[in-house]
């Protein structure tokens, strides 16, 4: 009877996914040990050490994984909305009475342990999005249904931003990949990407240079897609005329930034009038889509200054400016990234060896057991070790996507792709910031960084997907026989 029960628990469970998960967790434990172990310590097995605490969290995570596998698969469908609203309440509670850590009021503290509810809200949000989008009457091309998904994503995002935990909030942007997979029109995805690009580029170019860049991008991209160059060149000429008008008007205007933007917007609107008339008379209706994107970008540009100066905090502004090379502060803002690069680069091809990392051992790399855990991998295990860890993470993400494609129900497919998107975003941002390709954000490396909240949350995320996939495989095997 015991053996039969054991088989039913694990029947249909994808062993490859579980093996990848275990290998990554063990690699994380080894890295945390290397990052926090002190030679000659009087109490190496004390639970005051980070690596001993992480072992406790690993045990708790594996028990949690077993519980997830024991639950009926229908539980997650029914539990989606209650979990989502409970998560929102926890975020609000953390904002009201939580403990502030590194400027973010996003933690609950219980003795020596801290819990970050935002990590678990990712699970609830993934379940809620899957529940909304798997409804029988849902259509992603219907504005009302798309607005429901937007509301589900916006509410936790708004609270997390209020907590000043912008890094965790940005993770919710990964759901754009899920929406695109489910058939979201590319013309609705492009504006979101343009907003992110414009926010960055606005710090590097003058307003006039931005205007000319937008003109060129909008015109030539649309001409390339539609293959009609003559009419698009007329469109470009008219808009460039607006740029010339702007040049003259801006020279006469007051030097204030808002006055400049007003002149820019008015001149652009004036230049678009003949373009709109020509497009309407020539039945070139697609131009109006490009014009709408262009005008949206023009309206958004003045808000970048407000977002940067009023919403972001000083350390966040410094990190962005440092990433763009606008400021250089090697002993301040740039210190973490510079030391991370030194640590990873010094590892060479095969690394310095376990517990032999000097940058890590002597504390040159801050947060070396949490956000910058990849530095330990790079210094001690070298390029080959870092490549192995990234290969394991990528294999797990690809496996989750494959599991999503195996699902026969939309709920399971959407959820599996949501998990894959969240993990991919974390890996890209965390590894990117350690090598200077991304601004520094407080985002952990999945299953590798120290922390009970993130480890258990990522474990639940993955094993719900494993449970959904197991149910599908069980059904397929039953149908076959």
Per-residue pLDDT of 167-212, as tens digits, reads: 788 888 889 889 888 888 776 676 666 666 766 666 666 665 666 6
What kind and span of H or E run contains 474?
helix 452-480
Q: What pLDDT does residue 350 have?
A: 87
Q: Are 261 and 207 in contact (CB under 8 A)?
A: yes
Q: What pLDDT does residue 233 have?
A: 56
Q: What pLDDT does residue 205 have?
A: 64
Calpha distance 118→101 (Å, rounded): 14
Calpha distance 134→77 (Å, rounded): 10
Q: What pLDDT does residue 253 have?
A: 44
What are the tokens at 293?
A: 């994107």
End-to-end CA, the chain = 23
Nearest CA among 144, 148, 142, 143 for reference residue 129: 148
What are the tokens at 363?
A: 């504390």
Nearest CA among 82, 25, 23 for reference residue 55: 25
Q: What pLDDT does residue 4 have?
A: 46
Q: Are 470 and 14 in contact (CB under 8 A)?
A: yes
What DSSP designation does 352 have? S
Residues 362-401 have pLDDT tens digits of 778 887 878 889 999 999 999 999 999 999 999 999 999 9
Long-range contacts of 232-237 (CB under 8 A, 24+ apart): 232/287, 234/275, 234/278, 235/275, 235/278, 235/279, 235/287
Residue 233 burial (CB count, 10 A)? 13
Nearest CA among 400, 402, 396, 415 for reference residue 73: 415
Q: What pLDDT does residue 392 have?
A: 96
Q: What pLDDT does residue 479 have?
A: 46
Calpha distance 309→320 (Å, rounded): 12
Q: What pLDDT does residue 115 have?
A: 85
How is the beta sheet containing 104-110 ordered, strand by strand?
99-101, 104-110, 113-115
> pLDDT tens track of the chain, all 481 residues?
444 444 566 778 889 999 999 999 999 999 999 888 876 666 767 767 888 889 999 999 999 999 999 988 889 999 999 999 999 999 999 888 888 877 778 888 877 678 889 899 999 999 999 999 998 888 888 888 888 998 999 999 889 888 888 778 888 888 988 988 888 877 667 666 666 676 666 666 666 566 666 666 666 655 555 555 555 555 555 555 555 555 554 444 444 444 555 555 555 555 566 566 655 655 555 566 566 666 666 666 666 666 777 767 777 777 777 777 777 777 667 788 888 888 888 888 888 888 888 888 777 888 787 888 999 999 999 999 999 999 999 999 999 999 999 988 899 999 999 999 999 999 999 998 888 888 888 789 999 999 888 999 999 999 999 999 998 877 665 544 4
């Amino acid at each position: 009877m015991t053996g039969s029960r054991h088989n039913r628990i694990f029947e249909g469970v994808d062993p490859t996914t579980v093996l990848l998960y275990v290998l990554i967790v063990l690699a994380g434990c080894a890295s945390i040990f290397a990052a926090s172990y002190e030679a000659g310590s009087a109490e190496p097995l004390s639970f005051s050490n980070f690596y001993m605490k992480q072992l406790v969290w690993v045990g708790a995570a594996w028990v949690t994984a077993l519980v997830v596998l024991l639950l009926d698969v229908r539980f997650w469908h029914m539990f989606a909305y209650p979990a989502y609203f409970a998560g929102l309440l926890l975020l609000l509670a953390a904002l009201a009475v939580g403990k502030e850590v590194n400027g973010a009021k996003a933690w609950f503290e219980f003795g020596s342990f801290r819990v970050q509810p935002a990590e678990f809200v990712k699970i609830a949000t993934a379940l809620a999005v899957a529940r909304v989008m798997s409804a029988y009457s849902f259509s992603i091309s219907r504005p009302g249904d798309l607005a429901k998904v937007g509301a589900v994503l916006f509410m936790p995002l708004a609270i997390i931003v209020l907590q000043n935990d912008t890094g965790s909030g940005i993770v919710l942007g990964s759901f754009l990949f899920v929406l695109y997979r489910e058939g979201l029109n590319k013309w609705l995805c492009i504006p979101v990407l343009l907003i992110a690009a414009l926010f960055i580029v606005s710090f590097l170019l003058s307003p006039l240079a931005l205007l000319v860049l937008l003109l060129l991008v909008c015109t030539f991209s649309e001409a390339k897609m539609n293959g009609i160059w003559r009419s698009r060149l007329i469109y470009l000429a008219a808009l460039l005329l607006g740029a010339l008008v702007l040049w003259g008007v801006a020279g006469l205007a007051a030097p204030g930034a808002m006055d400049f933007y007003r002149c820019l917007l008015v001149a652009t609107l004036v230049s678009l009038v003949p373009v709109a008339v020509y497009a309407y008379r020539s039945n070139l209706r697609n131009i109006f889509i490009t014009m709408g994107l262009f005008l949206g970008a023009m309206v958004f540009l003045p808000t970048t200054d407000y977002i940067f100066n009023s919403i972001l905090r000083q350390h966040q502004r410094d990190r962005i400016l440092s990433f763009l090379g606008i400021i250089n502060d090697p002993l301040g803002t740039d210190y973490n990234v510079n030391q991370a690069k030194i640590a990873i680069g010094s590892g060479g091809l095969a690394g310095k060896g376990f517990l032999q990392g000097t940058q890590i051992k002597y504390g040159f790399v801050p947060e070396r057991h949490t956000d910058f855990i990849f530095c330990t991998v790079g210094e001690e295990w070298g390029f080959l070790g870092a490549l192995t860890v990234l290969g394991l993470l990528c294999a797990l993400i690809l496996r989750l996507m494959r599991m999503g494609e195996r699902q026969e129900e939309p709920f399971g497919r959407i959820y599996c792709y949501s998990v894959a998107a969240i993990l991919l975003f974390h890996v890209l941002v965390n590894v990117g910031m350690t090598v200077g390709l991304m601004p520094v954000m407080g985002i952990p490396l999945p299953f590798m960084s120290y922390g009970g909240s993130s480890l258990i949350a990522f474990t639940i995320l993955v094993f719900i997907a494993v449970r959904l996939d197991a149910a599908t495989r069980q059904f397929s095997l039953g149908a076959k026989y």
